[in-house]
Amino acid sequence: MPDPMRIRANMAGDKVEVRVLMAHEMETGLRKDASGKPVPAHFIQNVSVDHDGKTVLSAQWGTSISKNPFLHFRFKGGKPGDKIKITWVDNKGETRSDEATIAAAS
Amino acid sequence: MRSAALFVACAALVAGCTTPPPENDARREAQAAFERSFTHGNKEMFARVVGQDDVQALCSRYRNRPPADVAERIQKSQAATIVYPADGKLMGDWRQGEKIAEDGFGLRFTDTNQPNRPNGGNCYACHQLAPHEVSYGTLGPSLYRFGRTRGSGEAIQRYVYGKVYNSEAFTACSGMPRFGLHQVLTPEQIRHVVALLLDPESPVNK
Amino acid sequence: MRALAATVGAVALVFCASVPAQDKDVTQREIERYRELLAEGNPADLAEAKGEELWKTKRGPKQASLERCDLGLGAGVVKGAYARLPRWFADTDRVQDLESRLVTCMVTLQGFTEDEAKKNPFSAPGRGSPIEDIATYVAGASKGMKFAPPLEHPKELEAFRTGEELFYRRAGPHDFSCATCHGDNGKRIRLQDLPKLTDPKEAQKVFTTWPAYRVSQGSVRTMQHRLYDCYWQMRHPQLDYVSEASIDLQVFMAKYASGGTVEAPGLKR
C-alpha cells in the first residue's frame, strides 16, 4: 500500500485552495543504478480530484514530474466541511486515494 | 584546568585571537576522537588524514592566522618543495586547463571506483575564471582576465605554476590545496592550468 | 546538482547581458527566487509523518515503541527536545546528539543491538531509513522554538573544546578543514552560499534548518549526514555514524547557533 498523501484544503475567497504532497519515487526509467542497470520507470500517470460527485481536476502526468510531487490548485463550488477525494494511478497500476475536509479560510 | 580556561576564553574572541592555543588536552583529545571516528571506512584514505604534516598542524593551531615569523618559515619551507618541469615548458593547452578547472573528480571515497580517471582541479569551486561559467565560487579571488593584465612572460608563468603547485609558498595557511605537493594534479595538468590563466587565447583573458 | 547549478546559471544569464564581474546580486536574487518557488510542499512532511508513526510502532526484539525514550526532557517528551540537543545524559554519561540518543533508545527500549540500530542511517532510492524518518519527526516537534542547547556540564565543555580543534583540523590531500569553507563571511562554493559557522548571526540561521529535505538527494538528510557529506568533500574517509567527532563538532556549532529558531525540517538543494 503506497504511502498516504498529505492534503490541505481551505477556502480562499470564493474558491477552495488545495495543496497535496504525494509520496512517489517518480522514476523516469532513464536513471541507472550503481551497477549500471537502468532503473525501471515508475511514475504517476493519472491524478483526479473529486468533490460532491464531480471531478474537479484531472491530470495526466509523465516523467518530467519530479519525485514526491507537490500539487497546488484552486476550484470553485466547495465550502467548509465538504470532503474532497484525491486519487493517483501510476504506470504499474498502483493507486492511492486520500480524503480531506475543506477548512475555513486559513 | 587553568590553561583550558584560558583556551576557552581565547576561543571566545572570534576575531583577533592571535595567541596560539597551547599544546594541551584539547588537541590531544581531538586527535584521539578523530582516530576513533573513522573506523569503518576506506583505510588508505584514513592513513592520509590521520596525521598532519608540519604545515597542516601549524595552520590548524593558528587557525590559519600564523604570526609573521611562523608565516615566513612556512612560506620558505613550502617554496623549497616546488618542482618545476625539467624542460622549462610551463604553459600547456588552455582547453585542457578549462576541463581541469571544471572537474571536481578525485580523492573522494566514491571516486575509488574509477581508478584510472585523472583528478580534476575543481578550480571553479572557489574561483571565477572564464566568463561563460557563471557557476563559480568566491572562496578565492576572481581570476577573470588574470593573464590580460599580467602578460604571459616567464616570471608570471613561474608564479602561476608555483602557486598551483604549492600555494603556501606564497601565502602561509592559504585555503588553496597544495595541488602539486600532494600530487592531486600532475605537472602536465598544472601546465594546462597555467595556460588557462595566461594564454591570451584562453577564454579567461577574453 | 550540476544541472541545477546550470539552470540557475542560465536564468542568471538572462538578466546579465554583459560580461559579469563578480556580480553577486543578480545570481543571488535568482537563487533566492528558485528557493521561494520550492518552498511550498516540502517533501520532508512525508518523512515527518512516517517518523511519527515509527515512534509509536512496537519494533525490535522487545516489541516496544519509542514512546518512553528520554531525549533530554523526560521519558516520552518529544516536543522541544531537539531544541535542547546535543547535551550530556546521565544514564550513558556522555554527550549525545539526536541520532545517537535514538540509537540508545532503540537499544535499551526496543532490544536492537547497537550495530542493528546504526545499520541503515541514510535512506537511498527504494530503501527508506527508519531512524532518518524518526529524527525528522522529533526535530519537527521543536519547530518554531528557540534553540538552546546546554553548555555547562564538564563533558559538554570538553566536547566543545574537542569540536573546536576538529573544526580547524587541516588534513588530507586538499589540506581542508571545516574552517576552509566555513571560516569566513560572504563566501560560496560554486553557487552554494557557505555560512561562517563561528558567526552567531549566520549559525543561528542555518544550523537548525537541519534535518532538511535535500532536493539533490531526493530525501531528508540530517546533521549526521551533512557531516558525513562534508568529510566526503574534504577528501577524508567515511565518518562513522554518531561517532564522537560528529557529536563534538555539533556541540561546537550548536554554541554559535544558540538563540536561533528551530526551522526543521528544512528544504535545501
> pLDDT tens, C218-260?
899 999 999 999 999 999 999 999 999 999 999 999 999 999 9
**Is 90 exceeded by the pLDDT of residue B3?**
no
Asked whether the CA dihedral B195, B200, B201, B203 is positive or negative, the reply is positive
Subunit contact C165:B137, Cβ cutoff 8 A = no
Q: Pick A3's closest partner by Cβ from C40, C41, C46.
A: C46
Asked whether the CA dihedral C232, C237, C241, C243 is positive or negative, the reply is negative
pLDDT recorded at residue C26: 82
pLDDT recorded at residue B72: 98
Q: How far is CA C113 from each of CA B46, B96, C52, C72, C118, rounded to the nearest angstrom?
A: 27, 52, 22, 22, 9
ipTM of the complex: 0.89
Give dist(CA B20, CA B57) in Å, integer.
12
Binned at pLDDT 50, 70 and 90, residue B1 comes out as very low
C-alpha cell at B197: 590563466
Q: Pick A6's closest partner by Cβ from C49, C126, C218.
A: C49
* 3-state secondary structure string across C48-95: HHHHHHHHHCCECCCCECCCCCECCCCECCCCCCHHHCCEEECCCCEE
In a domain, B59, yes or no: yes
CB atoms within 10 A of CB C253: 26
pLDDT recorded at residue C11: 44
Catalytic residue among C16, C69, C178, C230: C230
Give dist(CA B53, CA C191) in Å, integer.
31
Give dist(CA B194, CA C10) in Å, integer.
28
Last residue of a domain, one of B14, B41, B73: B73
Q: How far is B153 from chain C (nearest CA, A)?
A: 25
Closest CA to B97 of B143, B154, B155: B143
Binned at pLDDT 50, 70 and 90, residue A105 comes out as confident
**Is 60 exceeded by the pLDDT of residue B7?**
no
Q: How far apart are the first and last CA of chain A?
A: 31
Instruction: Check if the beta carbon of residue C129 is closer than 8 Å to that of residue C120.
Output: yes
Quick one: B65 and B116 in the same domain? no
Give dist(CA C89, CA C77) in Å, integer.
15
Percent of chain C residues topping a pLDDT of 90: 81
Instruction: List, for residues B45-60, the tens digit of each pLDDT value.
Output: 999 999 999 999 999 9
Closest CA to B97 of B199, B182, B206, B8: B199
CB contacts, 8 Å: B52 with chain C: 169-171
> CB distance from A15 to chain C under 8 Å?
no
Instruction: Check if the beta carbon of residue A93 is closer than 8 Å to that of residue A41.
Output: no
Subunit contact A3:C50, Cβ cutoff 8 A = yes
CB atoms within 10 A of CB B103: 16
* CATH architecture of residue range(s) A6-101: Sandwich (2.60)
Closest CA to C264 of C147, C145, C148, C143: C143
Residue C230 known to be catalytic: yes
Binned at pLDDT 50, 70 and 90, residue A2 comes out as confident
Q: How far is CA C167 from each of CA B51, C183, C197, C227, rounded to the nearest angstrom?
A: 15, 9, 10, 11
In a domain, B150, yes or no: yes
Give the pLDDT mean for A61-87: 95
Most distant CA pair in chain B: distance in Å?
61
What chain C residue is nearest to A33 in terms of C-alpha separation? C125
Burial C144-167 (b: 16+ CB within 10 A, else e): ebebebbbeeeebbbbbbbbbbbb
pLDDT < 70 regions, chain C: 1-24, 37-39
CB contacts, 8 Å: A65 with chain C: none
pLDDT recorded at residue B22: 55
Rounded to the nearest integer, the mean pLDDT of chain A is 94
Q: How many domains does chain B have?
A: 2
The DSSP bridge partners found for residue A87 are A48, A97
CB contacts, 8 Å: A10 with chain C: none
Subunit contact B49:C171, Cβ cutoff 8 A = yes
Instruction: List, for residues A61-70, the tens digit of each pLDDT value.
Output: 999 998 999 9
Instruction: List, for residues A30-66, the tens digit of each pLDDT value.
Output: 988 878 899 999 999 999 999 999 999 999 999 999 8
Closest CA to A67 of B47, C214, B46: C214
Sheet of strand C219-221, all strands in order from the earlier edge strand to the far edge: C219-221, C212-214, C266-268
Binned at pLDDT 50, 70 and 90, residue B20 comes out as low
What chain A residue is nearest to C37 in terms of C-alpha separation? A70
Give dist(CA C25, CA C250) in Å, integer.
32
**Helix (H), strand (E) at residue A72:** strand A70-76
**Helix (H), strand (E) at residue A70:** strand A70-76
What is the domain extent for residue B165? 94-205
> CB distance from C230 to chain B under 8 Å?
no
Q: Does CATH number 1.20.1250.20 belong to domain C44-140?
A: no
Task: To the nearest 10°, report the CA torsion of C231, B34, B36, C60.
Answer: -50
Q: How far is CA C264 from each of CA C37, C136, C138, rounded to the nearest angstrom?
A: 18, 8, 9
**Is 50 exceeded by the pLDDT of residue B189?**
yes
Quick one: B103 and B66 in the same domain? no
Instruction: Check if the beta carbon of residue C229 is closer than 8 Å to that of residue C173.
Output: no
Amino acid sitting at position C70: D
Q: Pick B135's closest partner by Cβ from C164, C183, C191.
A: C191
Give dist(CA C65, CA C60) in Å, integer.
9
> CB distance from B128 to chain C under 8 Å?
yes
Contacts of B171 (CB under 8 A, 6+ apart): B75
Q: How far is A5 from chain C (nearest CA, A)?
A: 8
Quick one: B61 and B98 in the same domain? no
Instruction: Check if the beta carbon of residue A39 is closer than 8 Å to that of residue A67.
Output: no
Q: Given this structure, which CATH class describes domain C154-268?
A: mainly alpha
Q: Pick A21's closest partner by Cβ from C41, C50, C125.
A: C41
Instruction: Check if the beta carbon of residue C47 is closer than 8 Å to that of residue C108.
Output: no
Quick one: B102 and B64 in the same domain? no
DSSP secondary structure code for residue A7 in this structure: E
**Helix (H), strand (E) at residue B160:** helix B154-165
Give the pLDDT mean for B73-100: 98
How would you class C108 by CB atoms within 10 Å of its CB: exposed for 0-12, middle for 13-18, buried for 19 or more? middle
> CB distance from C24 to chain B under 8 Å?
yes
